[in-house]
Amino acid sequence: MVKSMTWVIVRSVLIIGLSFVILYPIILKVSIAFKQKLDMYDPTIVYIPRNFTLENFKYVMETMNYFKVVWNSFLLSCGTMLLTTLSCALVGYGFARFKFRGSNILFALVILTILVPPQTIMVPTYLQYRNFDLFGLIGLFNDGNGIKLLGTYWPFVISSMTGMGLKAGLFIFIFRQFFKGVPREIEEAALVDGAGVFKIFTTIMLPNAVPAIITVMLFSFVWQWNDIYFTSMFIDNAKVISVQLQTAGATIAHKLGTEAGSSSGTVDPFYLSMLVNTSVLLSILPLIIMYMFVQRHFVESVERTGIVG
């Protein structure tokens, strides 16, 4: 009895400690975001503001054009999420069910894309979309020149549709492991009934792959939402939350300096830090809200994906 109680106490202390370490940055940012400017200079105020205010949120939203930027980020993340999930599910099903000469080598190359840093293929990726030419076919009708896709959302669409999007190798691996765990008898019964490969995939395999689909969709959405590297490469000064957050400090400092009638260098650094913390909190707020609604399905999908795979 004493031994079991000791283990319960130790486990509870570890869980609480780890949870505090993980949640501390968010708790600190929430505390700062609701403080007034004077509270930053009061040493007796640590976590709970003495005077709650929403002015920091209002100021940052106006400065960053928050709702438009969030809407652009939502559309981009949702679009790439849907295309990536569909293409990776199809590729993962192919690797799980169809064996041919060199299939293991191809799958090894897919796994290699997880390990290779994207910076190593930055130049060919950039050149590919700067002068996009589909096997020389576009050049036949365009005087030998390709199409410049930089500055548009087409690079995201093309890479997602072809299973070459952000972290696509990991998603293909997840679907392959899941489909390998589905009994073959289900497909054999469908083949006997006259169903083709694509009908089996759409009517049998995909409905049974809901746990893997939820996992991939959430990961894809979050990673695209936070992506800076590819977004900055394809679109200069993109109006999405991840890119705008990088310049939020300079933008807020410039606005504060303009309103004060002085240069940005004389802006109160503590107040500027408060507003930058508020902008960071606003950037992750949609993800927190989304997780509150889907956390049960997400946890179940991760568990089931691991069991089946």
Per the DSSP assignment, residues forming a β-bridge with 147 are 132
Please report whether residue 309 resides in a domain: no
- Cα–Cα distance for residue pair 34/30, rounded to 1 Å: 7
Q: Are 113 and 169 in contact (CB under 8 A)?
A: yes
Q: Rounded to whole angstroms, what are the CA distances from 148 to 153, 254, 293?
A: 11, 34, 40
Q: Please state, as a whole number, how many other Cβ atoms lie within 10 Å of the Cβ of residue 21.
A: 9
Q: Is residue 30 part of a domain?
A: no
Assigned domain for 269 exists: no
Alpha-carbon distance of 159 to 151, in angstroms, equals 15
d(CA 120, CA 139): 27
CA distances from 228 to 224, 240, 243, 277, 289 (A): 8, 9, 6, 19, 21
| CATH number of the domain where residue 100 is located | 1.10.3720.10
Average pLDDT (98-119) is: 86
**What is the count of structural domains for the chain?**
1
Task: Enter the tokens of residue 109.
Answer: 């190359």
pTM beyond 0.75, yes or no: yes
227: in domain? yes
Q: What is the pLDDT of residue 195?
A: 78
Confidence of residue 78 (pLDDT cuts 50, 70, 90): very high
Q: Across-strand partners of 132? A: 147
Domain that holds residue 156: 65-246
In a domain, 145, yes or no: yes
- Tell me the pLDDT band of 24, cut-offs 50, 70 and 90: confident
Q: Is residue 219 part of a domain?
A: yes
- Whether 253 is in a domain gets the answer no
Q: Average pLDDT, stretch 167-192?
A: 86
* Beta carbons within 8 Å of 302's beta carbon, 6+ residues apart: 211, 215
- Stretch among 25-29, 118-122, 144-148, 301-305 having the lowest mean pLDDT: 301-305
Residue 97, in any domain of the structure: yes
Each residue's pLDDT tens digit, 228-245: 888 988 988 888 998 888
What single letter denotes the amino acid at residue 199? Answer: K
